[in-house]
Chain A
């Protein structure tokens, strides 16, 4: 039997981990002790249910329920002074918890503080768009939809943005294969020439140093030159070509001093 390999996360894994290695955790501080973030958390708490809140590396991280995301962002914008939404994206935790983590990176320009609103959704759930509040979500949510396949409700124009419209799969998922993706490797051939042309065109060469032994269109051997596109599968004759001295001289054995200036 073949060895079972988990399919949930096919990304590169560390080949060796010390069994006594204990992973440290970035310090998490309580929000209540911070004089800037504490009142804001209180405002947010009055509006939506807070699942978790902490401060990591100078930024507040607040987790809310996914259905409250619009309301939370609205509160942050109108009452806490977060005037810019710098970034929206997701993290794939499907293999561990069957969930996506979606984060909204917010910036308060007046006091130069940043916070991150986090929510988690199940695999086939959709999230509400915050595009009516921040137009920057237009592109950011489209990118999230494209690369993770997360549907966004009430987005004005939810369409793939980076990958082609007819692409299969969502590249940033942990299940997306790194090598051996049949669809991806034949995408151009299938689209331009049709599936029947696969055999005639052949797989794409991804090795820039590849030399094909019997291809006389693109390669030739020194001392064994043959006419263009000649068939050499049965061996090639030795060609009598007078080479200049510099091409074939073996500098390791030759006693000749080529450069007279020395």
Chain B
């Protein structure tokens, strides 16, 4: 604890080292551009960062511990609170891991809906990234425009599942609901609107903007070997010239049937990653457009048929005694998956979101580990920030696109 007096006054955030003339500055955890509860301790030589120490844990809620004390279906809404910008991608990652463990597959219609929800969530998350990234750098108006389109995307989610932020829109074995009427029409209208806005607003405001380029180019350099070593995934990896997207390489859901490109940048800097985010949004609308006609030739079944693990549809529960009994057991005791372990990685908007589940055959997971992309990106900050300048620290934090719900878990 500091003992302030007149000779050594107490500056809340600053500390001067006498020996080597560096300054230690405390950044966060309540800094507006820390993207949540990130505390950074920076050692500065003049304005240059010579040492960085990210301190996390301010949003720790013990999600992995909760998972060990909840049945598999109970835990699903908790996954919303990991990456709360794109909840459905967490729901989906978890549901897919449990489905792999159970050995079941969602019916075709559920797959179409899930893939659409995942892409809408990717757009929501990427719009949020563009907005906050621009806001951190000082382009206020982009934030307002991007949040306008994000509201439309969230309206789509609200139409589908009733929630705007914590969706829980995926269930283990399928989806809970069919799409509402006119939803496809709205999705198509949204895609048109977004494509237009990307071109006439975001790209027009930012891509060739001199200030934007000066702030982003050659800032936050991630060499490919460092990206691999530090476990960077998603746009952080593809921004370093490594074309690895789990949707393409280890395809899940309907992605093998869809036609889309993986944008890659070999500039290794923040500007390249910004371009990747913009391009991925365009690819997401392209995927959504392909999915709309796929919905029409599917059977109406929404949940997989696996009576041992998954409750029957509501009509059957209300009319058939055996379905009701199964439902009662599944709700009160929970499903008992087979003994074994599974690690499933999905491409969330931030990177590789992996769920490791160790099951001992009990209704509670013996161990559930969430491999969150932002956790490793935060770890990489201690290397990435070195040699950068104080004004670029904000850019570099922002370009990693970290969300503290999944860093601290």
Which residues of A approach B to under 8 Å, CB–CB?
11-16, 21, 23-26, 28, 56-57, 59, 61, 83-87, 89, 91-92, 103, 105, 107, 109, 112, 114, 116, 134-136, 138-140, 143, 147, 161-164, 171-172, 176, 178
- The residue that B345 contacts in the complex, of A13, A114, A134, with Cβ under 8 A, is A114
Contact with B228, one of A12, A16, A83 (Cβ below 8 angstroms): A83
- Measured between alpha carbons, how far is A25 from B70 in the docked complex, in Å? 21
The answer on a CB contact under 8 Å between B229 and A136 is yes
Q: Least Cβ distance of B375 to chain A in Å?
A: 6
A89-B356 in contact given A12-B69, A135-B226 (Cβ < 8 Å) = yes
Known pairs A61-B341, A91-B358; A11 contacts B333 (CB<8 A): no
> Is residue B215 within 8 Å, beta carbon to beta carbon, of the partner chain?
no
Point out the residues of chain B lying under 8 angstroms from A84, CB to CB: 228, 231
Closest 8 CB pairs of A and B: A26-B340, A136-B231, A23-B361, A139-B379, A112-B249, A162-B57, A24-B338, A12-B69
Q: Is the CB of B340 within 8 A of A56?
A: yes
B197 interface residue, CB < 8 Å from A?
no
The segment from B16-24, B109-117, B363-371 that touches chain A is B363-371
CA distance A202 to B354 in the complex (A): 41
Q: Complex formed: what's the CA distance from A140 to B375 in Å?
A: 9
Q: A24-B338, A26-B339, A57-B342 are in contact. Are A163 and B60 (CB under 8 A)?
A: yes
Q: How far is the CA of A47 from the CA of B409 in the complex (A)?
A: 37
B289 contacts A by Cβ under 8 Å: no
Does chain A have a CB within 8 A of B149?
no
Interface string of B339-362 (1 = CB under 8 A from A): 111110100000010101010111
Taking the complex as formed, is B164 at the interface, i.e. its CB lies under 8 A from any CB of chain A? no
Q: Is the CB–CB distance between B336 and A23 below 8 Å?
A: yes
Partner of A25, one of B65, B340, B382: B340
User: Separation in Å of the A262 CB from the closest CB of chain B?
Assistant: 29
| A162/B361 in contact, CB under 8 A | no
Q: Which of B56, B343, B358, B371: most chain A CB closer than 10 A?
A: B343
* B32-90 interface (Cβ within 8 A of A): 56-57, 60, 62, 64-65, 68-70
Are B64 and A172 neighbours in the complex by a CB distance under 8 Å? yes
B275 near A: Cβ within 8 Å?
A: no
What residues of chain A lie closer than 8 Å to B339, measured between beta carbons? 23-26
- CB–CB B379/A86 < 8 A: no
| Cα A178 to Cα B68 with chains together (Å) | 11
Contact, CB under 8 Å: B379 / A136: yes
Is the C-beta of B378 less than 8 angstroms from some C-beta in chain A?
yes
Complex formed: what's the CA distance from A139 to B375 in Å? 8
Is B379 a contact of A87 with CB atoms below 8 Å?
Answer: no
Bound-state CA distance A63–B103 (Å) is: 24
Contact of B364 among A11, A23, A83, A112 (CB under 8 A): A11
Do B244 and A138 touch across chains, with their CB atoms under 8 A apart?
A: no
B230 touches A (CB below 8 Å): yes
- Contact A171:B343 (CB < 8 A) given known A12-B364, A134-B229, A139-B376: no
Are the CB atoms of B356 and A14 closer together than 8 Å?
Answer: no
Q: Are B250 and A112 in contact (CB under 8 A)?
A: yes
* 30 pairs, A vs B, C-beta closer than 8 Å: A11-B69, A12-B68, A12-B69, A12-B70, A14-B334, A14-B363, A15-B333, A26-B340, A26-B341, A57-B342, A85-B231, A86-B233, A86-B371, A87-B354, A91-B358, A109-B249, A112-B244, A112-B250, A114-B250, A135-B230, A135-B380, A135-B383, A138-B379, A139-B379, A147-B64, A161-B56, A162-B56, A162-B60, A162-B409, A171-B65
Q: Does B101 contact A (CB under 8 A)?
A: yes
Contact B100 A57 (CB under 8 A): yes
Contacts of A176 in B (CB 8 A): 65
B242 within 8 A of A: yes
| Residues A171 and B354 in contact in the complex (CB < 8 Å), given A16-B333, A84-B228, A136-B379 | no
Using Cβ atoms and an 8 Å threshold, which residues of chain A touch B228?
83-84, 109
Task: Report how far A84 CA is from B339 CA in the complex, Å.
Answer: 27
B136 located at the interface, meaning its Cβ lies under 8 Å from any Cβ of chain A in the complex: no
User: With a CB–CB cut-off of 8 A, which chain A residues contact B364?
Assistant: 11-14
Whether B408 is near chain A, meaning CB under 8 Å from some CB there, is yes
Minimum Cβ distance to chain B for residue A165 (Å): 10
Measured CA separation A44–B345 after assembly (Å): 24
**Among candidates A57, A59, A178, residue contacting B69 with C-beta atoms closer than 8 Å:** A178
Cβ contact within 8 Å between B338 and A25: yes
> What's the least CB distance linking A63 to chain B, in Å?
12
Contacts known (A59-B343, A114-B343, A171-B65); A105 close to B338, Cβ less than 8 A: no
Question: In whole angstroms, what is the CA distance A247 to B366 when docked?
Answer: 52
Residue from B340, B345, B369, B378 within 8 A of A89 (CB atoms) = B369
Complex interface: chain B residues within 8 A of A83 (CB): 228
Residues of A within 8 A of B352 (CB): 86
CA distance A96 to B249 in the complex (A): 38
Judge whether B345 and A26 touch: CB under 8 Å: no
Kindly list chain A residues whose C-beta atoms are within 8 Å of the C-beta of B340: 25-26, 28, 56-57
Q: In the complex, A91 Cα to B352 Cα: how many Å? A: 21
Pairwise interchain contact B367-A116, C-beta atoms closer than 8 A:
no
Q: Which of A26, A134, A161, A162 contacts B231 (CB 8 A)?
A: A134
